[in-house]
Amino acid sequence: MLKWLRRHLQRFRKRRSTHRGSQTIPDSIWLRTLSDYPFLAADPANDPQALRAMVANFLRDKEFSGAHGLQMNDSMAVAIAAQACLPVLHLGLHWYDDFKGIVVHPGAMLARREVVDDAGVVHHYNEALTGEAMQHGPVTLSWADVAASGESAQAGYNVVIHEFVHKLDMRSGSADGCPPLPTRLVWESWRVTMQASYVRFQDKVTMAERFGAEPPWLDAYAATAPAEFFAVTAEAYFVNRGRFGQEFPELLPLFAQFFNASTAP
């Protein structure tokens, strides 16, 4: 277990406190995290102290492990937790209650894949991944990509937010680009708006790839499935709100309504 977390958990248990978040993250680690990842404090609607308390609770609940010899430390865990908590700051940590483990690799990882073509032939291949979220299972991340999140925010890229938004999406079943929503009317509005935006993005990718048009701002990977479009656009929403609003004005109020909700269905 991480050093500061072990120490604070011991104090927490001795005091038998019922107030979650009563033990906070050390100032030195928290201030360095905000400095390394400025987007964490960029939204005036977010209370930095509420985020800090949620991160502490997140760290109490989740289990971190390094893969391939990677040694996790307090700063690394707080950096991941802070970015993971950003999408649920107003929704609540219970949106992440279906898993415990977070596995961190030094860099991209290879996943063995299998596909069957139209002729029924099975093909095996390796896919390089910077992260992966398993339904009711762990989240896997590339530390190299996490560490670079402050710089990659300009491009709207954030592997932690991407994978944890997949976790939100999966709460309604398999990831389909639509998280659980409170009413049928909200669900229909989400579907219509997201589908239209997704199709427009696919058209931009097609024009760029086939006809040499200017490529879209976000990664073309977002055009592969509605679930990926949701995750990729949500990354951009949280790490580069200004550019996101320019590129996806139709999604700005939709995401604000969902992610800033004080209660969840």
pLDDT at residue 237 tops 70: yes
**Residue 59 CB-density burial (10 A; 0-12 exposed, 13-18 middle, 19+ buried):** buried
Q: Can you tell me the distance from the alpha carbon of 82 to that of 201, in angstroms, rounded to the nearest whole number?
A: 29
How confident is the model over 125-144, as pLDDT tens digits?
Answer: 556 688 999 999 999 999 99
**Confidence at residue 153, expressed as pLDDT on a 0 to 100 scale:** 98
Show Cβ contacts of residue 137 under 8 Å, excluding neighbours closer than 6 positions.
99, 101
Tell me the Ramachandran region of residue 58: left when phi exceeds 0, alpha when psi lies from -120 to 50, beta otherwise: alpha
How confident is the model over 20-29, as pLDDT tens digits?
Answer: 444 689 999 9
pLDDT at residue 120 tops 90: no
Tell me the average pLDDT across 47-60. 96
Which helix (H) or strand (E) segment is 114 a member of? strand 109-116
The lowest-confidence range among 28-42, 120-134, 180-194 is 120-134
Q: Can you tell me the distance from the alpha carbon of 155 to that of 111, in angstroms, rounded to the nearest whole number?
A: 25
Q: What are the distances in angstroms from CA 108 to CA 62, 104, 119, 128, 141?
A: 22, 10, 32, 6, 8
Confidence of residue 172 (pLDDT cuts 50, 70, 90): confident
Q: Can you tell me the distance from the alpha carbon of 10 to that of 143, in angstroms, rounded to the nearest whole number?
A: 28
At residue 62, the 3 state secondary structure works out as coil
pLDDT at residue 101 tops 70: yes
Closest CA to 29 of 101, 77, 87, 91: 77
Domain residue ranges in the chain: 3-259
**Confidence at residue 211, expressed as pLDDT on a 0 to 100 scale:** 96
Tell me the average pLDDT across 45-69. 95
The lowest-confidence range among 15-19, 193-197, 225-229 is 15-19
For the stretch 157-188, what's the b/e string if a residue is b when 16 or more beta carbons lie within 10 angstroms of its beta carbon? bbbbbbbbbbbbbbbeeebebbbebeeeeebe
pLDDT exceeding 90 applies to what percent of the chain? 77
Q: Can you tell me the distance from the alpha carbon of 204 to that of 206, in angstroms, rounded to the nearest whole number?
A: 5
Q: What are the distances in angstroms from CA 167 to CA 18, 27, 187?
A: 28, 29, 18
Tell me the average pLDDT across 67-75. 95
Joined together, the tokens standing for residue 93 give 């940590």
Residues 60 and 9: beta-carbon distance below 8 Å: yes
How confident is the model over 189-207, as pLDDT tens digits?
Answer: 999 999 999 999 999 999 9
Confidence of residue 14 (pLDDT cuts 50, 70, 90): very low
Domain 3-259 homologous superfamily, CATH: Collagenase (Catalytic Domain) (3.40.390.10)
pLDDT exceeding 70 applies to what percent of the chain? 83
pLDDT at residue 124 tops 90: no
Q: How many CB atoms lie within 10 A of CB 75?
A: 17
Average of per-residue pLDDT values in the chain: 88
Q: What are the distances in angstroms from CA 133 to CA 100, 101, 138?
A: 12, 10, 6
